[in-house]
A and B are shown apart, each in its own frame.
Chain A
Amino acid sequence: MSDLYLSNLRNWFWKSPPAAWLMKGAREVLIGTLKQGPIPRHVAFEMDGNRRFAKNHKIETIEGHHLGFEALARVLEICYKCGVKVVTVYAFSIENFNRPRPEVDGLMAMAKIKLEQLIQHGELLDRYGAGIRVLGERSMIPPDVLPFVDRAIEMTKHNKDAVLNICFPYTSRAEMTSAIRATVDEYTTPTRPSNSPFSQTRISQKIRSNQSKKASSLAPIREASPDASATDTAPKSDVDDSMSSTTALDHESPPLPSTSAKPPRLPDPEKITAETINSHTYTADCPPLDIFIRTSNVTRLSDFMLWQCHEDAHIFFLKCFWPEFDLWHFVPVLLEWQWRKKKLTEK
């Protein structure tokens, strides 16, 4: 028999209405208090320890995951009340597909049911002003879950106050690779001709006609030096710098009729910056990650939010298992973060 369901005296006490009422009040006051200080804008949770929790308490693995879901709901409420803008949770890793089949199926069924319920209560979710996004490899979501995912995202798209990012099936390396690929894609699609009223061909034609006028007067020199770049120096004096490059280009290519299509102009890869790659990650429009929390005393990142957390995020490794996670675990983290922020600003 699981010790979770043992009704001991302590449980009875905490469940009694006065105690419950007091605890509820205490939570409210605590959250209201913490709100006075700086509040992280983006928090990531790696929900680890559902299975070990289940094992320690001798309940089924999937039950552990269900309790983990309850913990998630609790945490989201706390974050929402504190005013955290974005919460990112690691729901399912690509590597998790290697787990025993029944467990994977159970998790998928759970995701389906929870999303289905979410869709049924859409208007309640609007009260939180929370939008849901699913980050990860879309193609790996099982086909029976996918429509629910899409519905949930679609229904909450208009909510901008708070965002819940569910990473499902996700790994950070896959994310970084896809960001690199998307950047490469961006830099290998030709830029569209801009709608500016100035036509490049017209300008170069004008310059060329100016040159030919000059060239006719300077004909002997031109014949003396057939090298194109040498003749370029002559018009450069009266044509401005940016245009001289156009003339140089046109010397190499034979003069084209003004309407003909030029070869597609590709953007210069040297212009790629870290910002470009960042704009292709899943969390491009989220504020930078402030707090990263991993439960169950494992001190690894395990392929979660590597790109986001390696700069300024404060990483916390907690000893408790995820299903146990509650306000009482979150408050010390938040307090310490606020304290460090204060220290850093003092410096």
Chain B
Amino acid sequence: MSFNARDTQLYREDERAGHTKLGVEEREELVKNYLPAPPARERSSSRGRKAKDKSRFGLRKVVKAQLFVFLYAFVHAIFSVYIRMRIAYRAVSVRAVSILNYHHNTPEYVRRDVGKLRRLPEHLSVILTLEDGGSGDNALQLLVNEVSEIAAWCASAGIPQLSIYEKTGLLKRYMNRTYRTVNQKLSAWFGKNQAPPQALATRGASTLQSPNRADLPRERCLTIILVSEDDGREAMVDLTKVLATMVQKEKIRPKDITTDIVDSELSDAVMREPDLLISFEPYVNLQGYPPWPIRLTEIYCEPDNQGVGYQIFLRGLRKYSQATFKIGK
């Protein structure tokens, strides 16, 4: 409560003395000035007395309301100007940095940028959005290109696992196309024979894999998981259905359903907890991202930014390397 200084001091002294200094009544006296008026039903008894000065209060209320309406428009006008300037400023600065620090489609440049970081995420997740409601082949093409770009950055930086969230699940329907485009991109970056093997997986479909994947250590490979809105609540609903059927058939008891069971099932079916989530939207909005895995995920979102960019990716990694982790402590 926005106590004034004297009352705050009184309250803190009482607190330090283990709440022995003030009695119940004194404490009530202390807060009385700050309380809202009693509810209307209690006030109705004294209506007769209040009626006299009603007109004056009525006028005051009208003036006050008008003032608030005016102030609201004014504040929002100012804020609108401010936020537009902020967006413009940030867009220009990101653009400038990305010109100065371009990756030139070479893995070495990415490695150099990432080499300074203390640690890298094992599992990176990104949120991508379809342009303009996602109708037409153009939107899909853009999306697939973004996926292949990010895949190339991850492969260069040495991040072994990448999960891509796209709300509508369009990518899942074009898995072959996505797979081909990523392959092409990786060959363009690394050279035809040096390209790291990749695997493209999603819930409820067979994984697409590079043929030479088995010969190489896991760190050299890139696994991409496609995730959509259906992998969030719907996946949990599916799991609940299975569990309910099992309990009905008396294979398990409801007591057996623990966080561990749910966790292991959902991690197997959908994905494990990502270490870092990068959103390329102007503000943090999860858009239906699966709720179970994001428990301790570091979330990075460049404010006011719209669209995929290498600089955003780098900043996300930087932020992750600086973050400290302590569960519950």
Contacts and interface: CB of A to CB of B under 8 A. Distances in A.
Interface of A: 15, 17, 20, 23-24, 27, 29, 32-37, 66, 70, 73-74, 77, 80-81, 93-99, 113, 117, 120-121, 124, 126-129, 172-174, 176-177, 180-181, 183-185, 187-188, 266, 269-270, 272-274, 276-277, 298-303, 306-307, 309-317, 327, 335-336, 338-340, 342
Interface in B1-25: 1-2, 4-5, 8, 11, 15, 19, 24
A184 B257 CA distance: 9
Nearest to B295: A303
A121 B75 CA distance: 38
Given A172-B295, A300-B298, A314-B283, A177 B237 contact: no
A274 B233 contact: yes
B289 interface: yes
B73 to A, nearest CB: 8
B296 interface: yes
Contacts of B24: 120-121
Nearest to B288: A311
Contacts of A23: 2
Contacts of A312: 285
A272 B244 contact: yes
Contacts of B287: 311
Contacts of B236: 176, 180, 274, 277
Given A270-B241, A300-B299, A311-B286, A277 B2 contact: no
A310 B294 contact: yes
Contacts of A35: 68
B313 interface: no
B327 interface: yes
Given A172-B295, A299-B299, A339-B83, A36 B72 contact: yes
23 contacts: A20-B4, A27-B2, A29-B71, A36-B69, A97-B328, A126-B39, A127-B36, A127-B38, A177-B258, A181-B257, A188-B244, A272-B241, A298-B323, A299-B319, A301-B297, A303-B295, A306-B292, A306-B294, A310-B232, A313-B285, A317-B299, A336-B79, A340-B283
Given A172-B295, A299-B323, A317 B240 contact: no
Interface in B54-101: 64, 67-69, 71-72, 75-76, 79-80, 83
Contacts of B295: 172-173, 301-303, 306
Contacts of B205: none
Top 3 closest A-B pairs, CB basis?
A95-B328, A36-B72, A15-B5
B140 interface: no
Nearest to B256: A181
Interface in B241-257: 241-245, 247-248, 254, 257
A298 B327 CA distance: 12
Contacts of A177: 257-259, 262
Contacts of B131: none
Contacts of B328: 93-99
Which one of A113, A120, A300, A302 has the greatest number of beta carbons of chain B within 10 Å?
Answer: A300
Contact of B248 (A15, A36, A188, A327): A188
Contact of A299 (B237, B258, B300): B300
Given A299-B299, A299-B323, A306-B291, A269 B283 contact: no
Interface residues of B, number: 71
Contacts of A117: 19, 27
A310 B291 contact: yes
B76 A315 contact: no
Interface of B: 1-2, 4-5, 8, 11, 15, 19, 24, 27-28, 31, 34-39, 64, 67-69, 71-72, 75-76, 79-80, 83, 232-234, 236-237, 239-245, 247-248, 254, 257-259, 262-263, 283-292, 294-300, 319, 323, 327-329
A117 to B, nearest CB: 7
B237 A124 contact: no
A45 to B, nearest CB: 16
B76 A338 contact: yes
Given A32-B68, A314-B284, A269 B290 contact: no
Contacts of B285: 312-315
A310 B290 contact: yes
A188 B28 contact: no
A120 to B, nearest CB: 5
Contacts of A97: 328
B284 A277 contact: no
A243 to B, nearest CB: 26
B76 A37 contact: yes
Contacts of B239: 180
Given A33-B71, A66-B15, A127-B37, A180 B257 contact: yes
